[in-house]
Structure 1
């Protein structure tokens, strides 16, 4: 089997979700590629005030992308920086942690299960056999304790993936990116890139590759084995304060961005949202729009994954409108009372309540006076 199929696989995996702060839709499609190497994660409630979204584009296989989709957001939660509100640092540490976790016996086992080399049941048995035996029951156990076994010297997978992640907490948006997937925000209809594509034609990326001993002539350095290519997991971090003009963000792999510019995609989405409320359906239309009619041109032939996150907001106009509705409702109720001739009765009730209150206060004062003189 070559790189491309004879006919594209257009079946899509789609999902929708929401909470009181935002709603999201996503879709992914294998397309013309012989295998599906994209993965994604959408967790609207990472905690009570935080949402997490990520796209992962596998390179050389699917296992690393699937591994990151399964574990990266968990590691963000567990880092101490997250507890103090430093989301940027917790994201950076989680990116590095992925490399550490994919080594050794435990890393080999998890990747083997995700890569369909062994089934989940066999993986569970392997875990029971090679997991370290605990000592003191009260001793804190490492959430990724190393295992001793035949693959203890496993140095990591030969494949990799991009990772473009967005974390939303209240009015703060934090984007972490390593690779050529991209995050874009629509601010009053204008597209703004919140990440930089890490491609060799990016000057800072070209300089990094050359300084690290890489070259620009080959897709990989022909003098190095696959597992020793000059790459880094260190992400760019971008922190944005959200405002009322911010409509939605898009996270997508390069299968989308190779076919549409950031502004073209924002314009397309805004047009679709005029008639389509289901966000996953909008994503599906984008994938269909990008899919090439054949493999002759190259563009539109990659795996495609896209997450669309739309912000909910209560504007000052809505708040004022709600207040006016309450005031209007109260006025209408009073008018109804007056129309029914009940207004004198209402005043009578209020007068009785006032008399009862004054009597109660006098009684309390009398008791207080008597106790003071005893």
Structure 2
């Protein structure tokens, strides 16, 4: 047996092998191993377990065995005389301490060997320390996100209101859980109609139903949303065959939240902008016919863009409806004016504060960064997404927008956005954020 201890900053080592130690361990061969890890009776313990104090019964037993191995006790002299001599040597520091076991002893011992000893309570405590934490005792993180929303609309300077929107903060309250899945969900959309409001209203009433009824929902949400956009477009075409007065079109931008998953789908020039710790993150791309990517797609299909208009008829390159326009729509995938949405998906984090979705009447006078900064200041003041949406609409009117206005603000926290300190930059800016945005639009061919 090897025992190592460090009393009073001095190392000493005592090694012996004695057949009589089998009495202590009942023939099971428990061992004290010098160094970190040992195995005794099939129980593995690491170096941190080796510093646990020994049970008192075992400690006293080993002490008595060590006393028998002391030369003073085996010389045949009187025990009292030997004890006095050992104490004198211990006091003078010229020999090892009389108590070789202390709190710093490294050990590896099988607690099963001590089950019948008088230290059953100590063994029970030691074995409990090795058990994993009960799952019920682990504190669960607070649920996130906690969704709140508010919306506002205004006819603006137009004679007719052609916008529509939808807000559902909790899908399970409107639909059965078997349709929306186990995770909490929410759905939002803004629809900017043109040539009338019929297409915008039709999409608002039917798009979500097509999403939930799709065979790919909820296993593949992106495919379900893509199919739903196309099915809604075809369903409106059939409705127009029955009633030609319904002929109109609409752009569409929708937001579907399931748990922490955020999916934004867009067909047209509406826009979604996420505020991530004060920074504006665009979640959609404007589908203007003059943009380079859309122009290339249109020209590859045999169409053209004249003065920013698709085939000289429509300013957007993607929309639902407009089946009355000659040469723009067909039931195939290669349509000049397509209803297929572009989608962007992400996982919400604690840094994501709110999302703004709005029709192009807002973005004609607001940049994405400007809208986020404006909304963030307002939310810090009153923390009300509906009032924030109303204030965005009022500010757009003050900036002289010439279109219908629809804005929806979606917050992901119950508290207002935190105030952020100024972030020092090593280089002074010579151009504003809005200037950079305008420059990017010029490079993209959108202006």
Q: Normalising to structure 2: TM-score of the pair?
A: 0.52
- Who wins on radius of gyration, i.e. which is larger? 2
1: CA distance, partners of 2:194 / 2:244: 18
1: CA distance, partners of 2:197 / 2:313: 25
Q: 2:376 aligns with which of 250, 257, 270?
A: 270
Deviation at 1:21, TM superposition (A): 2.6
Q: Over residues 63-99 of structure 1, what are the superposed CA-to-partner deviations in whole Å (9 max), with x where a residue is unaligned?
A: 1011111110111111111132x11111101100112
1: CA distance, partners of 2:198 / 2:304: 26
Q: 1:161 aligns with which of 250, 255, 267?
A: 250
Q: Counterpart in 2 of 1:35?
A: 160
Q: Counterpart in 1 of 2:233?
A: 99
Q: Counterpart in 1 of 2:413?
A: 312
- Residue 35 of structure 1 aligns to a residue whose secondary structure is coil
Q: Counterpart in 2 of 1:239?
A: 345
- Residue 212 of structure 2 aligns to a residue whose secondary structure is helix
Q: Counterpart in 2 of 1:9?
A: none
8 Å Cα contact 1:99/1:156 also seen in 2: no
Answer yes or no: is 1:21 the counterpart of 2:146: yes
8 Å Cα contact 2:145/2:260 also seen in 1: no
Q: Counterpart in 2 of 1:216?
A: 305
Deviation at 1:200, TM superposition (A): 2.5
Which runs of structure 2 are paired with 1:1-374 in the superposition (5 Å)? 21-47=146-172, 49-84=184-219, 86-104=220-238, 107-108=239-240, 151=241, 158-218=247-307, 219-221=309-311, 226-229=325-328, 230-292=336-398, 300-312=401-413
1: CA distance, partners of 2:280 / 2:201: 29
8 Å Cα contact 2:198/2:247 also seen in 1: no
1: CA distance, partners of 2:246 / 2:373: 39
1: CA distance, partners of 2:366 / 2:360: 10
2: CA distance, partners of 1:75 / 1:181: 21
2: CA distance, partners of 1:173 / 1:157: 33
User: 4+ residue runs of structure 1 moved beyond 4 angstroms?
Assistant: 154-157, 222-225
Deviation at 1:156, TM superposition (A): 9.8
**CA RMSD in angstroms, aligned pairs only:** 2.4
Q: Over residues 189-248 of structure 1, what are the superposed CA-to-partner deviations in whole Å (9 max), with x where a residue is unaligned?
A: 000101000012321111112122222215352599724323000000111111110001
1: CA distance, partners of 2:395 / 2:218: 42
8 Å Cα contact 2:156/2:404 also seen in 1: yes
Deviation at 1:103, TM superposition (A): 3.0
Change (3 A) 1:228 1:170: same
Q: Over residues 254-310 of structure 1, what are the superposed CA-to-partner deviations in whole Å (9 max), with x where a residue is unaligned?
A: 0001101001000001100121232111111111101157xxxxx501000011000
Deviation at 1:158, TM superposition (A): 3.7
Q: Which has the higher contact order (CA 8 A, sep 6+)?
A: 1
Q: Normalising to structure 1: TM-score of the pair?
A: 0.61
8 Å Cα contact 1:58/1:159 also seen in 2: yes
- Residue 32 of structure 1 aligns to a residue whose secondary structure is coil
Deviation at 1:155, TM superposition (A): 8.6
- Paired positions, count: 245
Q: Name the structure where strand makes up a greater proportion of residues.
A: 1
8 Å Cα contact 1:244/1:313 also seen in 2: no
